[in-house]
Structure 1
Amino acid sequence: MSDILLFSGLFCQAESVVKRLLDDTRCSLITDSDIVAEAAKLSGMSEKAIAKAFVSKGSIFNKFNHEKERSVAWLRLALAEKLVKGEALLVSGFSAQLLSQSISHVLKVCIIDDVHKRIEVARNEEGFSEKEAIKAMQRSDEERSVWVKELTGEKDPWTSSLYDMVVPVDKIGVDESVALIKEQLGNAAVQITDNSRQEALDFLLAAKVETALVTKGHNVEVSAKAGNVVLTINKKVLLVDRLEKELVELTQPLDGVESVEVTFGKDFYSPDIYRRMDFELPSRVLLVDDEREFVQTLSERLLMRDLGSHVVYDGESALDIVKDDEPEVMILDLKMPGIDGIEVLRRVKASRPNIEVVILTGHGSDQDKKVCMELGAFAYLHKPVDIEVLSLTLKEAYAKIRKA
């Protein structure tokens, strides 16, 4: 029996459609939580980190550590491994968008509903007020729009071009919606064939290649057909021959790979420069200093040494990021307007003791140093600092984190 990938908006009666389909077919339900749990097992990443891929508000550090891209790659592999097992599946949720290659026996369904009907469902079935329902729908639709655009390039998550069928539940009701989906499951075009099984294996191979590459710090698009793998680079490359050689050398030895071709996508000539992620280096470094010109220059000098950092100019902003985004290492000035560095250090170590804090100050005293070290600072450095000394200190702080 064919598989179903079902995507919908919030309060679109998708749960009712899914329940009826499970009752009326031999499909087994696969949720986002199931895919996340499997991806975490495969990757060694935490479920919390993997699940962040679904959230529209990306990490400020993602351009340095590619965590979202890594999570998506492992999510794809988790889905691919389930699709090749032969059991009829109903995959519901964000994970329904992970299919990056055509598998003809997979029926892609979008469930949509009229706004007024969605509000009615939210009020009657979930106990929301109209204002609460509208706010929840707007937030949910934004997350789905960002997710779909990141995976497919489409701005409209409900566009018919992404699906085999778009079902307007508000117009035809749950019963008729289920009947239409079941009717399409019987269509000859979505039956399992030798070709469709090969398509599923192609998707699995592409997912395996993608995870093998992200594990080595690379972020490229991958497709496969009967063992022939195509790698597409979508960012500007400074040493393209070297990158092509490395990608081929990493891909060619993988089981199932017959040939490797490297191509260049539509964004190859964009201003962004392709950077390979080095997992031996910290990538979630937060610079906190009110001297704007100094700290911006420092951030650029660190980036030249492949140490990505985000800059804020006061203690309040630093604490907000610690709360929402969890940096690995902080470089912290002491004398700042508002909350000073010692108080920031105290609060960070109280709430996130695993974050290593390097004090970098031009005004500190011996007593300040004593207090900072007692509060748990990793190191205490003075301005002006030798960039190599600071880089080494960051690497040592990160090594301590990785050993913990």
Structure 2
Amino acid sequence: MKILAIDDQQLVLLPLEKRLQESGYDIMTSTQANEAITIFKEFKPDLLIIDINMPHANGLEIIRTIRKEMKDETPIMVLSGNTDESLIVESFELGIQDFMKKPLSLDEVSARVKRLIGTVGNAIKKPLSQNSILQNRCVGVVIPCYNEENRLKSKEFIDFVERNSGYHLCFVNDGSTDKTIDVLQKLKEGREHYISIYDCDKNGGKAEAVRQGLLHISKFDDLDYVGFLDADLSTDFEDFDDLVKTIESTDFQIVNGSRISRMGANITKESARKVISMTINFIIVSILGMPFKDTQCGAKIMRKELIPIAFDKPFITKWLFDVEIFMRMKNHFGKQKAQEIICEQPLKRWIHADGSKLSMRDSMQIGFQLFKIHAEYSFKKDDNKKVRDLKPESRSTISVQPQNVD
């Protein structure tokens, strides 16, 4: 039995394709929604699975063409994050057999497919791959790495991408002098669609590694949101996924993790480090003029449309680039608007990991670097105010030309 699945986001199609192939179906997938009718006629599937909201084609129009013009009665299953009741009703009136609302599990999809077209008699009897959730959004995450050969938690990263669809992890090797690149290559092997490596020839510091990584993945068409996370996973994936859930369900443009000690949370820091952090944050809040609790948390998620505003130019500091991001947002949108579109979300867990790349010399320069940031951003106007209000629009096609990207 043949199944054709059409969705503009490859990160949604890949786990679906794998699961249905394991169940014995002959499946073809395509992200070219504008060619759906041609592919449908050539492949002649026994079942069509299609998304409705796609940038270059209207799923309802494709269904209408198949049912009204072609007079074809092939079973059609809609897989969509759009839960508008009128759209669902119209889909059934056009003759679809099922409507599945994202997010949903692969196990549920498999059960619905079997109900519609039955099972494949000659399917190989073997355990199916791990169940995962088909999401309604796709997220690119940059993980900067410098000499992480002995600290990188490869198993945790692998487990996460196998359990959670819709994520692409981009590891940036920031000119490591140990065998970090070998560890990353092994991590990527067999998972090329979900994991990529951006290799920098020279160590440029965390700020530039994050910037280059985000400029790189901003070219991926199927990503809705992008962000970054520390390689030591001091902020775990459960908390990061909560940040994503917040940005996709609100009008916030940036959601910033915040390491606030509070009842019910597991936030651990060394006493001296905590005092230093509080002092630095007091200075940062004074410079920004916005009531941030924690700008320096290494977990942030943002809409992809913000990349040209926040990351087009190199940062002037290696470690305080988070402050620069918010200064750029403030200069671009204005203080009031910036405070409306940036959300701080407390983490449930954050544990300081040994092996910080922040040297004593860097620490002693923090005060001077904050002064540089204040001077650079407080007395210069943003000359890139092209858009004052960014609407939360999925799968933007804004083109970004990264610097020094192969």
TM class by shorter-chain length? under 0.3
Q: TM-score, normalised by structure 1?
A: 0.24
Q: TM-score, normalised by structure 2?
A: 0.24
Q: Which has the higher helix share?
A: 1
Larger Rg: 1
